[in-house]
C-alpha cells in the first residue's frame, strides 16, 4: 500500500461516506469545518439569548420548555460535574468545540479551512431544509403553526419571530449534538460492540431510536431533576419530527455534523418566517 493510499484511508476512516479527496464534499464534511462554520451560529445563539432581556432570561432558565431542551441537558451535565450555573453558559458551547476538535484529531483529516466554502455550505443547508418544510405541510396538511415553528416557546415583551429564530439556531446545534452526534454513536457502540448485531441492523435501530426520542422530547422531557411538558401531542407533529429525525440522521451520515446542524437551524428559521408571515397572517 502506497503512502498516498494510507493517507487517504486515514482521512476517511471516521466517515461513513467518502468523497474525492479535497473536493467540496470532502472538505465540508470534516469536523474542523463544522466547528468553523457553526461558530457564528453558536455566538448568535448565546448573545441572542442573553440580549432578549435579563428578566426573560431568568424565566427561560426556570421554564426549559421555552429554552432549547438539549442545551439545558448539557448545562445540567456540567452542573453535575461541578460547574456553577453562571459558568455553564460559557462551558456549554465549549462542549461542542471540544467534541469537534477531538473528532478532527482522531479523524486525522486536514485542518485547513477556506471561508469561501461557507457561502455554498449555506446555500446547501437552505436547499436541504426545503424538503422538511414541504414534508411538514404534507404530514400536517392542516399546516398548524405549532408544527412549523422553531424549537421553544414565547415570552411577553420580545417579538415572537426573534425568539423563534434564536431558539431555532440553538436547536439546530444542540439537538444535533445530542441526538445525532452523541446518541447515534452511543447506540452504535451498544448494538454493534456489546450486543454483537450486524452493522446494518445497528445503523437501522440507532437511527430509528434516535428519531423517536428526538420527536418525543418536544412533548415531554426531563430537565433540572423533574419532568416538563412541551407541545401538546398530536400524531401529525410526532410523525413529522420522527421522519425529520431520520432525515437528519441520513444527512449526518453522508455530510457530517456541520451541514446537518446548519440544515436544522435553517429549517427552524424558515419555519419561523413561514409561521409568522404566511400562516398567522392568513
* Assigned domain for 231 exists: yes
* Percent of the chain scoring above 70 in pLDDT: 80
Report whether pLDDT(149) > 70.
Answer: no
- 227 φ/ψ angles, rounded to the nearest 5 degrees: -85, 145
Cβ-Cβ contacts under 8 Å for 200 (sequence gap 6 or more): none
Q: Is residue 16 part of a domain?
A: no
Q: Which residue has the higher pLDDT, 107 or 54?
A: 107
137 pLDDT tier (thresholds 50, 70, 90) = confident
In the chain, how many domains are there?
1
CA distance 95 to 88: 10
Percentage of the chain surpassing pLDDT 90? 56
Residues 6+ apart with CB under 8 A from 123: none
Q: Which residues pair with 221 in a beta bridge?
A: 228
Cβ-contact 224, 64 below 8 angstroms: yes
**What's CA 162's distance to the chain center, in Å?**
19
Position 10 in a domain: no
In whole angstroms, give the CA distance from residue 53 to residue 57: 6
Residue 12: pLDDT over 60:
no
| Residue whose C-alpha cell reads 424558515 in the numeric block | 270
What's residue 225's pLDDT? 80
> Of the candidates 236, 230, 266, which has an alpha carbon nearest to the alpha carbon of residue 69?
230
Q: Does the residue 258 lie in any domain?
A: yes
Q: Does a structural domain hold residue 8?
A: no
CA distance 268 to 129: 9
For 221-260, how does the pLDDT look when each residue is reduced to its tens digit (9 = 90+)?
888 788 888 888 988 899 999 999 999 999 999 999 999 9
Q: What DSSP state is assigned to residue 143?
A: -
> Tell me, what's the pLDDT at 159?
75
* Residue pair 60/67 in contact by the 8 Å Cβ criterion: yes
Report, as an integer, the average pLDDT of 198-202: 93
Q: What is the DSSP string of 148-178?
A: HS-SS---TTS-HHHHHHHHHHHHHHHHHII
Query: According to the model, what pLDDT value does residue 146 have?
Result: 41
- 211 part of a folded domain: yes
pLDDT at res. 7:
44
Three cell numbers, residue 282: 392568513
Residue reference for cell 436547536: 171
* CA–CA gap between residue 126 and residue 264 (Å, rounded): 9
Residue whose cell numbers read 396538511:
141
The pTM for the full model equals 0.86
Q: Distance (Å, rounded) from C-alpha 24 to C-alpha 74?
A: 32
- Per the domain annotation, does 12 fall within a domain? no
Higher pLDDT, 52 or 151: 52
Q: Is residue 13 part of a domain?
A: no
Give the domain extent around 136.
23-111+120-279
5 pLDDT above the threshold of 70: no
Taking the chain, what is the end-to-end CA distance rounded to the nearest angstrom? Answer: 64
Distance CA 27, CA 259 (A): 11
Asked if 11 contacts 107 with a C-beta cutoff of 8 angstroms, the reply is yes
Amino acid at each position: 500500500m502506497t503512502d498516498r493510499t494510507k493517507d487517504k484511508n486515514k482521512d476517511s476512516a471516521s466517515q461513513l461516506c467518502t468523497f474525492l479527496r479535497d473536493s467540496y464534499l470532502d472538505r465540508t464534511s470534516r469536523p474542523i469545518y463544522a466547528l468553523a462554520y457553526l461558530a457564528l451560529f453558536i455566538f448568535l445563539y448565546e448573545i441572542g439569548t442573553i440580549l432578549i432581556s435579563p428578566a426573560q432570561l431568568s424565566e427561560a432558565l426556570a421554564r426549559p420548555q421555552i429554552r432549547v431542551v438539549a442545551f439545558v441537558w448539557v448545562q445540567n451535565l456540567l452542573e453535575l460535574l461541578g460547574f456553577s450555573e453562571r459558568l455553564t453558559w460559557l462551558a456549554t458551547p465549549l462542549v461542542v468545540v471540544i467534541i469537534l476538535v477531538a473528532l478532527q484529531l482522531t479523524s486525522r483529516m486536514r485542518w485547513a479551512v477556506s471561508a469561501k466554502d461557507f457561502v455554498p455550505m449555506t446555500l446547501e443547508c437552505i436547499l436541504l431544509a426545503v424538503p422538511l418544510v414541504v414534508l411538514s405541510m404534507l404530514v400536517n396538511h392542516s399546516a398548524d403553526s405549532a408544527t412549523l415553528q422553531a424549537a421553544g416557546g414565547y415570552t411577553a415583551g420580545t417579538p415572537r419571530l426573534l425568539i423563534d429564530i434564536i431558539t431555532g439556531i440553538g436547536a439546530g446545534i444542540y439537538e444535533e449534538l445530542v441526538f445525532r452526534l452523541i446518541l447515534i454513536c452511543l447506540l452504535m457502540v451498544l448494538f454493534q460492540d456489546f450486543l454483537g448485531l450486524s452493522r446494518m441492523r445497528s445503523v437501522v435501530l440507532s437511527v430509528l431510536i434516535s428519531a423517536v426520542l428526538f420527536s418525543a422530547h418536544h412533548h415531554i422531557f426531563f430537565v433540572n431533576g423533574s419532568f416538563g411538558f412541551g407541545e401538546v401531542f398530536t400524531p401529525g407533529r410526532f410523525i413529522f419530527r420522527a421522519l425529520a429525525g431520520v432525515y437528519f440522521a441520513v444527512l449526518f451520515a453522508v455530510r457530517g455534523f456541520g451541514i446537518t446542524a446548519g440544515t436544522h437551524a435553517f429549517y427552524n428559521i424558515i419555519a419561523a418566517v413561514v409561521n409568522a408571515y404566511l400562516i398567522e397572517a392568513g
